């Protein structure tokens, strides 16, 4: 009987793999690897729809990121409209996996903000750029899925820290291309905090794929339609790029 249970357990484990034959941890590692970059830049139009259907002025943002094994940091710059022009949000992932963020502009000294806060009033958060859930220890494959005609594998990532706002994330991924077609973030009470889905893909120079158009909805019902209209996969991060972050780190 015990032997049968062990065998059944092994069979169950064998089923917990994605289409590429990877288990949860391996699939999550693939997703992390797909995001590694010495430097990238993406410029995007963000059209926000408020829960009452109103549209604030469309945002134009520039996002510069560096995602290496040693250092992960992101700089968001507002391009338009005038209310966000040359306003910045800088964020980094620190040891232990948490993300911290600051907001600043030419006049304003850097102020700490929540990385979960919507960027310039949108439902897009800097926390999402770091996809920290791929670094969490508990990763569980949930089976096959389909999003907008794309076959993908469902995976649940469980937060390491019980106090974190987002306690688990369910995604539908293609670990071969590193694309998460759909991502849902839940708190401890299983309330949906934010969901994002990829609407259109673009082929990267490296051969992989990335989201060209996507949609992010937060818990309040605010929706952001994001269209990446330009980018640079090999952005040259200089000493100046994250100088503010370096100063903040030195101060602490």
Partner 1 sequence: MTLLEFAISNLRRRAARSGLTMSAIALGIAAVVALTSIAWGFEASWQKANDARGTDLIVTRVASENTMPTPFREERVRQVLAAMPHVHEVVGLLSEMLTVSEDAPPVFVFGWVYGSYLWDHLKLQQGHWPREPMEDGVVIGSIAAETLHKKVGDFIEIEGKRFAVIGLFESSAVVENGALIMTLDQAQLITDKPGKVNVLNIKLDTTASEAEVQAIKERVKRELPGYVAITSGELVRKNAVVRISKAMSNATILIAGLVGALVVFNTMLMSINERTKEIGILLALGWQRATVMKLVFSEAVVLSLLGGAAGILVGIGIAWGLEHVELMRGKIDPVFSVPFCFAVLGLSVLLGICGGIYPALKAARMQPSAALRYE
C-beta closer to partner 1: residue 41 or 195: 41
Torsion of CA 225, 228, 234, 240, to 10 degrees: -70
Q: Nearest approach, Cβ of 55 to partner 1 (angstroms)?
A: 12
- Cα–Cα distance, 136 to 41 (Å, whole number): 26
Q: How far is CA 40 from CA 35, 66, 79, 104, 204, in A?
A: 10, 7, 17, 21, 12
Cα 189 to the center of its chain, rounded Å: 21
What residue has token string 């993300």? 99
Q: Quick one: 187 or 233, whose CB is closer to partner 1? A: 233
Task: For the CB of residue 134, give the shortest distance to partner 1 in the complex, in Å.
Answer: 26
- Rounded to a whole number of angstroms, the minimum distance from the CB of residue 110 to partner 1 is 21
Task: Write down the least CB distance from residue 5 to partner 1, Å.
Answer: 52
Could you give the C-alpha distances from 173 to 14, 150, 185, 196, 218, in angstroms and in order? Answer: 19, 9, 14, 12, 20
Residues found near partner 1 in the complex (CB under 8 A): 41, 43, 45, 58, 60, 62, 64, 78-80, 85-86, 205, 207, 229-230, 232-236
Compare residues 55 and 137 and give the one whose CB is closer to partner 1. 55
Considering beta carbons, is residue 81 or 221 the nearer one to partner 1?
81
**Closest approach of Cβ 79 to partner 1, in Å?**
4
- 247: helix, coil or strand? helix
Q: Which is nearer to partner 1, 104 or 235 (CB)?
A: 235
For CA atoms 181, 226, 76, 217, give the dihedral sign. negative
Residues 174, 225 contacting (CB under 8 angstroms): no
Q: How far is the CB of 52 from partner 1 (least distance, A)?
A: 22
Long-range contact set of residues 198-202: C-beta below 8 Å, sequence gap at least 24: 198/147, 198/148, 198/150, 199/148, 199/225, 202/228
State the minimum distance, in angstroms, from the CB of residue 31 to partner 1: 23
Nearer to partner 1, 167 or 224 (CB): 224
Give whichever of 78 and 118 is closer to partner 1, judged by the CB atom: 78
Neighbours of 174 (CB within 10 A): 23
């Amino acid at each position: 009987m015990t032997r049968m249970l062990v065998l059944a357990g092994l069979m169950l484990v064998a089923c917990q793999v994605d289409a590429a034959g990877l288990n949860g941890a391996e699939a999550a590692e693939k997703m992390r690897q797909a995001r590694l970059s010495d430097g990238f830049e993406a410029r995007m139009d963000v059209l926000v729809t408020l829960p009452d259907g109103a549209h604030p002025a469309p945002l134009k943002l520039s996002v510069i990121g560096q995602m290496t094994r040693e250092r992960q940091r992101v700089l968001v710059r507002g391009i338009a409209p005038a209310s966000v022009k040359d306003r910045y949000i800088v964020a980094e992932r620190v040891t232990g996996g948490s993300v911290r963020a600051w907001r600043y502009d030419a006049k304003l000294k850097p102020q700490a903000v929540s990385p979960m806060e919507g960027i310039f009033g949108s439902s897009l958060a800097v926390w999402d750029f770091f996809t920290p859930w791929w670094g969490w220890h508990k990763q569980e494959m949930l089976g096959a899925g389909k999003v907008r005609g794309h076959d993908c594998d469902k995976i649940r990532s469980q937060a390491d820290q019980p106090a974190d706002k987002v306690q688990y994330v369910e995604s539908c991924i293609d670990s071969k291309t590193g694309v998460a077609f759909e991502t849902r973030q839940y708190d401890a009470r299983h309330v949906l905090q934010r969901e994002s889905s990829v609407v259109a893909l673009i082929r990267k120079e490296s051969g992989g794929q990335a989201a060209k158009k996507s949609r992010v909805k937060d818990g309040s019902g605010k929706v952001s339609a994001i269209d990446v209209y330009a980018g640079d996969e090999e952005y040259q991060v200089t000493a100046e790029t994250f100088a503010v972050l370096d100063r903040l780190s030195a101060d602490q």
